[in-house]
């Protein structure tokens, strides 16, 4: 698969993943943290606000990967 194709697929994946992740995090916070303290809510949103970076970084790493084939000799 060429790098241009990987970048297209990765961009689409990120454009879908980030909003879905944000909606899931907000839903979890609404259901689970409704009566929690302000400190607990702050900690949850700080962690949830940073954790999406791990899968997004993996997708970006995959998008930037080059073709690892050695050149053919004739």
pLDDT tens for each residue of the chain, 74 residues long: 888 999 999 999 999 999 999 999 999 999 999 899 999 999 999 999 999 999 999 999 999 986 666 666 76
pLDDT at 2: 87
**What pTM was computed for the model?**
0.77
pLDDT at 72: 66
Give the sign of the dihedral formed by CA 57, CA 58, CA 60, CA 66. Answer: positive
Torsion, Cα 12 16 21 22, to 10 degrees, reads 110
């Amino acid at each position: 698969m060429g790098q241009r194709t990987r970048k297209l697929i990765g961009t689409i994946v990120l454009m879908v993943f980030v909003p879905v992740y944000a909606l899931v995090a907000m839903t979890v916070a609404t259901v689970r943290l409704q009566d929690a303290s302000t400190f607990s809510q702050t900690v949850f949103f700080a962690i949830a606000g940073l954790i999406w970076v791990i899968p997004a970084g993996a997708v970006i790493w995959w998008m930037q990967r080059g073709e690892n084939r050695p050149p053919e000799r004739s």
